[in-house]
Amino acid sequence: MTNDLLYQIALTTIPNIGPVQAKILVHHFGDCQNIFKASTKELENLEGIGTIKAKCIKNFEDFSIAEDEITFIEKYKIETLFLKDAEYPQRLLNCYDPPTLLYYRGNANLNVSRIINIIGTRNHTDYGRQVTEQLIDELQSQQVLIVSGLAYGIDAIAHKAAVQNNLQTVGVLAHGLDTIYPPQHTSLAKQMVLNGGLLTEFRKETKPDKHNFPRRNRIVAGMADATIVVETACKGGSMITAELANGYNRDVFAFPGKVTDAKSAGCNHLIKNNKAVLLQDSQQLIETLGWISKKPKRKEQKELFISLTNDEQILVDILKEKETVHIDEIYIKSGLTSSTVAASMLNLEFQNVLVSLPGKMYKLL
């Protein structure tokens, strides 16, 4: 295990090899050690790698950073989650740029059936605090995992409210696990380790530099089923996270605010531009995400002897593999264009062959 981990950490330290390239390499070679053993020609022939990146891999020799990190991991009993691990947050695998390796302290299952993130401004109003605390209080019975960024303001309010309601909560950090930023949240972070956890892709001694926060935000967006924006201006981290969530085909909700309130301008902007659903209360969220069991409706009789096109048959075969399938997986497995998939899926829905579910999931009827 330690040997595997050595190469996994080393992969994240190679110059010019980011999460996108690492995903390509891991998908092709399977084991990280095989990446370092591969020939230059095999590496540079991989689409997305090329000559320069192949040379960076072949010229890499400094494993000391990885060895030092393993010493830190073992000393503080930190769990590592690699792309191919079963415990790795599986929702992130639907993103084009998932973290190659995550460092985790906590006890929350990062693959539970209900995960949302709650984000917002650092300089919140009483209204922002109220709607955040009320939402989480009303979600107590749903046993949902609450994710946020452990920042000042709405993030911290969400984490605290989750702890108070005995809901597990995970803070995604923009730095290593050897520190807590802001330091004023150290006590809260300790509570979260016991009732959720702390998660990061950054090694120890990584400072909370400005450029790390967008990388952190993509994890917040990607590991949840839905993003809830409470209060935000038109610029800032919350808007970045909302845009990322939309790009990952996640549901985005926003609490509206007064048109004169600058701290709600971002939420109103998202709603106005159809990038977020206007959120009023927890019941709306629960219903939209399909968390309540409705009385089964009488199934409409499927047309007998339906004639499917070749494209439609491809999609039906993919949906037969498991109970529900995300639209991203359908795109990847079918190899069809997005417009062809959209048209074929719509036709199959009209014929009562399949049904669309919340979260851009589909299943056969």
How far apart are the C-alpha atoms of 272 and 108, rounded to whole Å?
35
Neighbours of 311 (CB within 10 A): 18
More confident residue, 220 or 290: 220
Beta strands in 166-248 (DSSP E): 169-172, 196-200, 226-229
Q: What is the pLDDT of residues 262-317, one digit of tens each?
A: 999 999 999 999 999 999 999 999 999 988 755 444 444 444 457 888 899 999 99
Lowest mean pLDDT among 225-234, 245-254, 332-341: 332-341
Who wins on pLDDT, 306 or 209?
209
Spatial distance between the Cα atoms of 325 and 157, rounded to a whole number of angstroms: 34
Pairing of strands 361-364, 325-326: antiparallel
What is the reported pLDDT for 305? 54
Give the pLDDT score at 273: 95
Torsion, Cα 151 155 160 162, to 10 degrees, reads: -140
How far apart, in Å, do the first and last CA atoms of the chain sit?
43
Mean pLDDT on 227-249:
95
- Say how far residue 346 (Cα) sits from the centre of its chain: 27
Query: What residues does 106 pair with on adjacent strands?
Result: 197
Query: Is a pLDDT exceeding 90 seen at residue 190?
Result: yes
Q: Which one, of 61, 54, 42, 59, lies nearest residue 17 by Cα? A: 54
Cα dist. 235→1, 69, 123, 197, 226 in Å? 43, 35, 13, 28, 20
Q: Residue 86: is it exposed, middle or buried by C-beta count within 10 angstroms (0-12/13-18/19+)?
A: exposed
Q: What is the C-alpha to C-alpha distance for residues 109 and 81, in angstroms, rounded to an integer?
A: 12
Residue 172 DSSP code: E
Could you give the domains of the chain?
A: 2-75 (1.10.150.20), 105-288 (3.40.50.450), 310-364 (1.10.10.10)
Residue type, 129: R
Across the chain, mean pLDDT equals 92
pLDDT of residue 326: 87
| Residue bearing the bigger pLDDT, 293 or 43 | 43
pTM of the full predicted structure? 0.80
- Looking at the chain, the whole-number percentage of residues with pLDDT higher than 70 is 96
Note the pLDDT tens digit of each residue in 104-149: 999 999 999 999 999 999 999 999 999 999 999 999 999 999 999 9
What was the pLDDT predicted at 304? 47
Residues 191-205: pLDDT tens digits?
A: 999 999 999 999 999
Q: Is the pLDDT of residue 247 over 80?
A: yes
What order of strands is seen across the sheet that includes strand 354-357?
325-326, 361-364, 354-357
Band (pLDDT 50/70/90 cuts) for residue 184 is very high
CB 159 within 8 A of CB 150: yes
- Give residue 258's Cα distance to chain centre: 30
pLDDT band at 327 (very low <50, low <70, confident <90, very high): confident
- Token pair, residue 190, equals 């300790």
Cα dihedral 92, 50, 243, 184 sign = positive
* Strand-by-strand arrangement of the 79-82 sheet: 79-82, 101-106, 196-200, 169-172, 145-148, 115-119, 226-229, 251-254, 277-278
H/E segment holding residue 145: strand 145-148
Average pLDDT over residues 71-92: 95
C-alpha 293/C-alpha 2 separation (Å) is: 45
Flag whether pLDDT at 3 surpasses 80: no
